[in-house]
Amino acid sequence: MSEKRELKFSTIAVHGRKHLDKHELGRPIRSVSTPIFMSSTFAFENADHGARLFAGEEEGYIYTRIGNPTTQALEKEIAYLEGAEVGLAFASGMAAEAHTFLGVCGAGDKIVSGDTIYGGTHALITTVLPRFGIRTQEVNFCDLAQVEAAVDERTRVLFFETPANPTLGVVDIAAVAEIAHRKNALAIVDNTFATPYLQNPIALGADAVIHSATKYIGGHGDCVAGLLAGKKDFVDRVAHESLHEIGGIISPFNAWLLLRGLKTLPVRMDRHSQSALEVAKYLSFHPKVTWVSYPGLKTHPQHELARRQMRAFSGVIAFEVRGGREAGRRVLDTCELCTVAVSLGDVDTLIQHPASMTHHTYSKEALAAAGISEGLIRLSVGLEDVDDIIADLKQALARL
Ligand code: LCS
């Protein structure tokens, strides 16, 4: 607008910031916390500048679906913490998985995955991806012979959780990575339960790591998000051939929540791990508890492996009470401090019943094959005082 004239109210409402003192907007702010850039789009200096950015001839921000400063700060952070070249953020853990698989697999390609995985992932792998011609097979990743036998020449990805949701089985990351590389496939680890503080799959040979950042990385039960970290060519392919086109991106606000969560991750994981070990020990000696699975217990079948590849054992425990499913449901209903809810890794202790909740997507046969019994209860030990958590479980078990 070359002619100087008073702007009308609606125009000022939209362009208000342009009337602020230039100095106020322009001076370096040096905020300690990363700013949240809640901007869907970024202004170009001129038409030529915009064209250069689109052509990739110059670096800069264009549009938040293909890059945002707050989101990129998070992506750099997760790459650094996982020892990866680059990171990528998504709207959810499911979006991270779906975009990754769609980015690297086409019709006829095969994904071999663990049979004990989050119920949503199980549904993605067994029902959604096969509709697009991607072949999938779930096997027990604690048995390497099963993994080896499932891989064929079109297998692109070996995908598994360790510790696994909800049984807490532990998979030998280095051994699976060795099989993957011998067969020209990628080993992708869901590191949600361990976090980069407790376990570094890439250092053990894995190609990439996926997170439901909704869990420990966010840590406060207030946002849903996903992350991927790995080699640049692989992550770039997921970005350019899946995320940018399909669009399951994270909100910059949620990226900021995760950056905030990461600052306290080590402190929280130490406490989750210490408390969970105490709770697991308490449960394992309780006469009404028939079994407990926690990688930190000497009775866990992969305890030695867990000690080798994890710094501590995180906060999730699986157990069953005498009386099976019905008795288990009564424990959920009589807990007073523990919250009956899915998700995990929150400051609050959460208790749930996988067969009817997080893993309801499994058939009876698939539950049995994955070792998810009808009576299994999953407990995500939070950051309350451990004495109070144990007291709550004690009173609930006493009422059985
Ligand atoms: N990977 C693992 C290991 C998970 O536990 C979950 C969600 C996902 C991926 C998917 O991430 P989301 O899209 O939810 O961010 N697990 C859940 C659970 O155990 N209870 O509620 C969600």
What is the structure's pLDDT at 22? 45
Q: Which long-range contacts (CB under 8 A, 24 or more apart) does 184-188 make?
A: 184/153, 185/112, 185/151, 185/155, 185/156, 185/157, 185/158, 186/104, 186/156, 186/157, 186/158, 186/234, 187/158, 188/100, 188/157, 188/158, 188/159, 188/230
Instruction: Report CA(352)–ligand 1 centroid distance (Å).
Output: 13
Q: What is the number of H-type helices and E-type strands within the chain? A: 17, 12
Burial call 97-117: b when 16+ CB within 10 Å, e when fewer: bbbbbbbbbeeebbbbbbbbb
What is residue 32's predicted lDDT score, i.e. its pLDDT? 79
Residue in 110, 156, 215, 268 annotated catalytic? 215
- Give the pLDDT score at 7: 80
Adjacency order of strands within the sheet including 339-340:
289-293, 316-321, 377-380, 350-352, 339-340
- Three-state SS for 56-98 is CCCCCCCEHHHCCHHHHHHHHHHHHHHCCCEEEEECCHHHHHH
Q: Which atom of ligand 1 is nearest to the CA of 192?
A: 3
As to burial, measured by CB atoms within 10 angstroms (0-12 exposed, 13-18 middle, 19+ buried), residue 400 is middle
What's the CA gap between 297 and 362, in Å, rounded?
27
Within 6 Å (CB) of ligand 1, which residues are found? 92-94, 118, 120-121, 161, 165, 190, 192, 212, 214, 224, 226, 342-344, 358
Fold of 265-398: Aspartate Aminotransferase, domain 1 (3.90.1150)
Eight-state DSSP code of residue 392 = H
State residue 21's pLDDT score: 47
For residue 154, indicate whether it is catalytic: no
CA distance 133 to 109: 8
How much is the pTM?
A: 0.95
Site to substitute for ligand 1 among 162, 212, 257, 339, most atoms within 8 A of C-beta:
212
Calculate Rg over the CA atoms of the chain: 24
Question: 190: left (phi > 0), else alpha (psi -120 to 50), else beta?
Answer: beta
The domains of the chain are located at: 48-263, 265-398
Is 232 in the active site? no
Distance separating alpha carbons of residues 306 and 205, to the nearest angstrom? 16
Nearest CA to ligand 1 atom 18: 343
Instruction: Give, for all 400 residues of the chain, the pLDDT tens digit.
Output: 566 788 887 877 777 655 444 444 445 566 778 889 999 999 999 999 999 999 999 999 999 999 999 999 999 999 999 999 999 999 999 999 999 999 999 999 999 999 999 999 999 999 999 999 999 999 999 999 999 999 999 999 999 999 999 999 999 999 999 999 999 999 999 999 999 999 999 999 999 999 999 999 999 999 999 999 999 999 999 999 999 999 999 999 999 999 999 999 999 999 999 999 999 999 999 999 999 999 999 999 999 999 999 999 999 999 999 999 999 999 999 999 999 999 999 999 999 999 999 999 999 999 999 999 999 999 999 999 999 999 999 999 999 9
Q: How many whole angstroms from 157 Cα to the centroid of ligand 1?
A: 19
CA distances from 265 to 117, 197, 220, 274 (A): 23, 7, 11, 14
Cα-to-centroid distance, 359 and ligand 1 (Å) = 10
Length, in residues, of the chain: 400
The CATH code of the domain at 48-263 is: 3.40.640.10
Angle of helix 69-82 relative to helix 252-263, nearest 10 degrees, comes to 40
